[in-house]
Amino acid sequence: MRARMLAVGLLLVATGVLPGAGRAQAGDPPRPVPPRDVVPAPVSVDASAGVTYALRPSTVIYADRGAAGVAEYLAALLRPSTGYPLPVRFAGDDRGGIALRLGGPAGLGGQGYRLDVSRPGIALRARTPAGLFAGVQTLRQLLPAKAARTTVQSGPWVVAGGHVLDRPRFAYRGAMLDVSRHFFTVAQVERYVDEMALYKINYLHLHLSDDQGWRIAISGWPRLTAVGGSTEVGGGPGGYYTQSQYRQIVAYAQRRYVTVVPEIDLPGHTNAALASYAALNCDGVAPPRYTGTDVGFSSLCVGKELTYRFIDDVIGQLAALTPGPYLHIGGDEARSTMPADYASFINRVQRIVAAHGKSVVGWHDVVNATPLPSTVAEFWDTETTNDAVAAAAARGTKLIMAPASRAYLDMKYTEGTPLGQDWAGLIEVRDAYGWDPGAYLSGVGESAVLGVEGPLWSETLVSTADIEYMAFPRLPALAELAWSSESTHSWPAFRLRLAAQAPLWTALDINYYRSPQIPWPA
């Protein structure tokens, strides 16, 4: 009986029916993670049956000089768990080691890579360091999950042989974190950056201001942080980043090939700024600070010149602190601003952003103004038809797809989810995965889509555990929509690959929602 069960089990594992087939039972020889388990799904995966590579105490990481940063990043990930020295060398013939080489066919593009795992060694090739970094994330998933731990583990460190060829579908793969409704520290943001990077997300959109909190120090406007930074939803202490802390986040993200997109939400969602400076209000009276969760009640005074001097200072300083090309100006739910005022306000702010050398991203409401050719609109509605957005797309406005009913990571999974909201619906893992960003909006084709983003609003979230519970496993699902070609889209296959990620999340101490839709390993 036992033998028969074992045989059936092996068959299920061999045919890939069981998730996490690479994880061994106690006492069995460890089986490597099958290359097909990678999330997001690569363009192509060819497993080499029976071939494996194993890290050894003598393993060397060979790299081109231009790949030094990625090589050191990989070494720093693997040294603590393996206990191996894993030196990075810029000379040598690659044999027996892990080689990170710049170059390869034009078809890899700027973010693609090729990973070859054979008995003598691992070869990773890409045309850019960003491509190598993406390949390293794939390699991390192919190593035993315990390689992600930060204390010494016992080997062996076996990687299944095979060839992975990969490049992204969309250039922009984003995650938004709302640090305004509840403040999160630099360390908490950095942890989220690490979690994003594992799934090849390359933009971190930071929602730095809202009614409930202003989170970035601006020279010349000290009350923004002293007053506007002192609140958060529910009455907690709030907080803010000094400019040097913000630079630290930017640099940390940059080392992970993640570009920060800072958002100052304008002209609505501005109670924290209005409470800080009475002069910013049309009536010259500062409103009380706000710690509730309503939206749409506040507006900057669009008729006052001081408003634009304020915005020019804020945008100018943020532009100087931000190496990435985009500044997000919000623009959503400006229900207290008349439509004509809204349009002229957004048009003027676009010119301010351009004068500081950046491109605007705005919530899709900004299509009601006159988007500059460089302006990107972030679609957040729950409908799949929006004539104004479709018309803007037809005129050339590029879109980031973050439809609230699919991509909002703050929506509850089910009615019983203890955190989150439900105004855009309940979003189980299958809902988060089951749409096509290139064909979601009526009349908007794939060529108008710059990418996909998962916004995580924080009205109900106070801790890293809360962030992770809402983001995992939906963020990897969105990452797959953003990275993987439409031809790989398959819920039956995805749920197995997603299940196989769980040991890695456990090793990384990531708190995740154990969705009943996913056959998690025991």
**Smallest Cα–Cα separation from 423: which of 405, 441, 402?**
405
Looking at the Cβ atoms of 410 and 466, the one nearer to ligand TNX is 410
Is residue 305 flagged as an active site residue? no
Looking at the Cβ atoms of 104 and 268, the one nearer to ligand TNX is 268
Out of 263, 333, 415, 459, pick the active-site residue: 333
Looking at the Cβ atoms of 45 and 233, the one nearer to ligand TNX is 233
Contacts 24+ apart (CB under 8 A), 109-114: 109/167, 109/168, 111/167, 111/168, 111/171, 111/202, 112/43, 112/165, 112/166, 112/167, 112/168, 113/138, 113/164, 113/166, 113/167, 114/163, 114/164, 114/165, 114/166
How many residues bind to ligand TNX according to rule CB under 6 A? Answer: 11
Least distance in angstroms from the C-beta of 404 to ligand TNX:
6
In angstroms, rounded to a whole number, what is the distance separating the alpha carbons of residues 462 and 410?
12
426 binds ligand TNX (CB under 6 A): no
Looking at the Cβ atoms of 100 and 409, the one nearer to ligand TNX is 409
Least distance in angstroms from the C-beta of 208 to ligand TNX:
13
Looking at the Cβ atoms of 289 and 364, the one nearer to ligand TNX is 364
Residue 337 is which amino acid? T
380 binds ligand TNX (CB under 6 A): yes
- CB 86, CB 61: distance < 8 Å: yes
> Of residues 153, 421, 506, 511, which one binds ligand TNX by CB under 6 A?
421
413 binds ligand TNX (CB under 6 A): no
The DSSP secondary-structure symbol of 169 reads S
In angstroms, rounded to a whole number, what is the distance separating the alpha carbons of residues 29 and 33?
13
Give the three-class secondary structure for 344: helix
Residues 320-349 close enough to bind ligand TNX by CB under 6 A: 332-333
Q: Is 200 left (phi over 0), alpha (psi -120 to 50) or beta?
A: left
- CB 170, CB 483: distance < 8 Å: yes
x/- string (CB under 6 A) for ligand TNX, residues 251-290?
Answer: ----------------------------------------
- CB 498, CB 515: distance < 8 Å: no
How many Cα atoms occupy the beta-carbon half-sphere of 98 within 13 Å? 29
x/- string (CB under 6 A) for ligand TNX, residues 456-495?
Answer: -x-x------------------------------------
- CB 403, CB 440: distance < 8 Å: yes
Q: Which stretch binds ligand TNX (CB under 6 A): 190-198, 242-250, 346-354, 402-410?
A: 402-410
Rg (CA), the chain: 24
Least distance in angstroms from the C-beta of 234 to ligand TNX:
14
Q: Which stretch binds ligand TNX (CB under 6 A): 117-125, 239-247, 403-411, 502-510?
A: 403-411
Looking at the Cβ atoms of 127 and 181, the one nearer to ligand TNX is 181
Residue 131 is which amino acid? G
Tokens of 139: 């390699």
Looking at the Cβ atoms of 116 and 453, the one nearer to ligand TNX is 453
Least distance in angstroms from the C-beta of 331 to ligand TNX:
8
Looking at the Cβ atoms of 212 and 488, the one nearer to ligand TNX is 212
> Of residues 47, 186, 295, 426, which one binds ligand TNX by CB under 6 A?
295
363 binds ligand TNX (CB under 6 A): yes
> Of residues 410, 431, 466, 480, which one binds ligand TNX by CB under 6 A?
410
Least distance in angstroms from the C-beta of 287 to ligand TNX:
18
232 binds ligand TNX (CB under 6 A): no
Least distance in angstroms from the C-beta of 293 to ligand TNX:
8
Least distance in angstroms from the C-beta of 457 to ligand TNX:
3
The DSSP secondary-structure symbol of 157 reads E
**Smallest Cα–Cα separation from 316: which of 406, 381, 221, 457?**
221
Q: List strands edge to edge, sheet with 88-89.
A: 44-55, 157-166, 113-117, 122-126, 98-102, 61-63, 88-89
Looking at the Cβ atoms of 126 and 404, the one nearer to ligand TNX is 404
Which residue do the tokens 């006492």 mark?
A: 27
Least distance in angstroms from the C-beta of 410 to ligand TNX:
5
Interior angle at CA 293, CA 287 and CA 296, nearest 5: 65
> Of residues 408, 433, 435, 494, which one binds ligand TNX by CB under 6 A?
408
Q: Which stretch binds ligand TNX (CB under 6 A): 146-154, 349-357, 404-412, 425-433?
A: 404-412
SS3 helix, strand, coil % of the chain, rounded to 5? Answer: 35, 20, 45
Least distance in angstroms from the C-beta of 30 to ligand TNX:
43
**Smallest Cα–Cα separation from 268: which of 356, 400, 363?**
363
State the distance between the two ends of the chain, measured CA to CA, in whole angstroms: 21
Binding-site ranges for ligand TNX (CB under 6 A): 295, 332-333, 363, 380, 404, 408, 410, 421, 457, 459
Q: Which residues are catalytic?
A: 333
